[in-house]
Chain A
Amino acid sequence: MENILECQNLVKFYPKCLALNSVNLTVPKGKIVGLLGPNGSGKSTLIKLANDLIQPTSGKILIAGMEPGIETKKIVSYLPERTYLNDWMTVNDMIGFFGDFYQDFNKSKAYDMLARLGVNPSLRLKTMSKGTKEKVQLILVMSREAQLYLLDEPIGGVDPAARDYILDTIIGNYNPEATVIISTHLIADVEKILDEVIFINQGNIVLVSTVDDIRENENKSVDALFREVFKC
């Protein structure tokens, strides 16, 4: 199977801090993958490298065989940790904006999801609660017909009911040609929807496994294993 994401001896040094320590990793197409690690383990660094927002110190990161750049941004849909949308814009404005910006943006899908959530598209972002804003952002990101979705902490700021909605949205949009990588430390909430998990700690990949293999071999949930591996 073809790999959508590949890291070869990937190193990222920040001043006085080694964020990624020679990471080798391959992620195939058609998977929902959890990128799991404690705070400061390198999750966001890896995702930012994949989006060409920062440059590797050495080594390579490849998206569908290409180095991150204009061509890969066409096929990668990215949900950053923090919002970058202008909050004076209405949801309608942003849908227009995304439609102009990304060829693969599906407007009817976006309106459909907004309607199901009961979000009024003529509202400005700044009038919305934090949770609603996060939902709108996720809808924008998931409305692209991308090959790789990189979701950095998509469920961190929302209530448990909205969490379920977001996870259902990810399952409902599942496409066997696309891969979704979710970085989070809320493992108990996401593990049911994951194919594979990647444990990362202090810039090192410590485990790559399927969820059911972990449950079968360890007789415990991914969440329980995580608590054991990363015990403070």
Chain B
Amino acid sequence: MNISQELQAARARLLSRRWFLRDCGVGLAGIAAQSLYAGETARGSDASPNPLAPRQPHFTGKAKRVIYIFQAGAPSHLELFDNKPELTKRNGQLPPAELLKGYRAAFINPNSALLGPKFKFEKHGQCGMELSEVLPHTAKIADDLCLIRTLQTEAVNHAPAQIMMNSGSQQFGRPSFGSWSLYGLGSESADLPGYVVLTSAKGTSGGASNYGCGFLPTMYGGTPFRSTGDPVLYLSNPKGIEDETQRGIQSYEMAYRLQTSAPELMDLAKEPKEVLERYGIKDPKEANFARNCLLARRLIERGVRFVQLFHEAWDQHGNLTAGVKQNALDTDQASAALVTDLKQRGLLNDTIVIWGGEFGRTPMVQGGNDGRDHHNRCFSLWLAGGGVKPGHTHGSTDEFGFNVAADPVHVHDLHATLLHLLGFDHTRLTFRFQGRDYRLTDVHGKLVPGILA
């Protein structure tokens, strides 16, 4: 590489392109990897020119992109999505002994009194989906939702369960669903990362591994966009160093474009007032869940493949009534507004929205009479758009919301089905690592046809 060229090019913002093209195989999206050749293929094999270039999946999927609203901490299905009048009736009574056989709760002695749901449920929409009174806005989009009441997982502690939900394994080190999606489909944004993470409330139990790339190359990991300070780490010039200079020395074109596009993206000033109101955004600069929902739409509009929101707030071992109510206040309106907004813009058809946590909560009480423990045998999650059956409630649980009564959906099954919607046979979206073809669903996962449109 000729350094004089490089320096001159610096002023013209075209610096090091040649090097980039030669050694990194940079392509349209401007990001590149030296070592990305579909895993461990034989040396000298054909190199993809750009590992983030848009790619065709196995077949034409109904969905092209994903917004995953991860409600971390485990929202109570019994207060939100799964109405159990029997629990109200048996409030204060011990659960039947046969129910508890072989059951392990996290905190409590399983033989604790049953606790009636704290909120009323009503049927909504033409489909008659039953939802809790704390979700009035979600209720209005019931006909767009596919509510799964029978999700199941193995993990019963937060960090492993979040990692399981996001990567299909309780053990750290596997790529997240977002990374798999980006690896499979590439990015359609030339200016922004293909997988963006937005956080509200507090940090999550699973930490950065929740959106990590595992053994996939770094570029497939989620990039956090931060609501305070620089939206992307080190995006701004250091104090006193002006933009002119900054531009002048861009080594990589996308870094420069990111410097322009990320602040533009994060600036909600141009959003019409009624849009802000619909999301419940009072101050467009205030960092919160509602703002992240609107940002998610803006990201999707700009070609970002996968947006993941994390809202870690749902661990109601105590303070169940007030906690769930507050969390619903913080998230219900904006979640519903996002779905509606996507629909109005014609984006919902090929965008999957996912809303849910890492496990459910026990029908048995924890503490006095206002808390629930971790529960992994069934929990609820909703999907919308992207080829998902709208206005549909999938599966049912027993009268306590304790076990699945019909149509269980394991986390692996959910992953298999989501990949299907994106156009992948989950058994064939693989990456060879350590001599093994790894996949999101490990050696499990069945398609759940019942939730497909």
A, B assembled together:
no
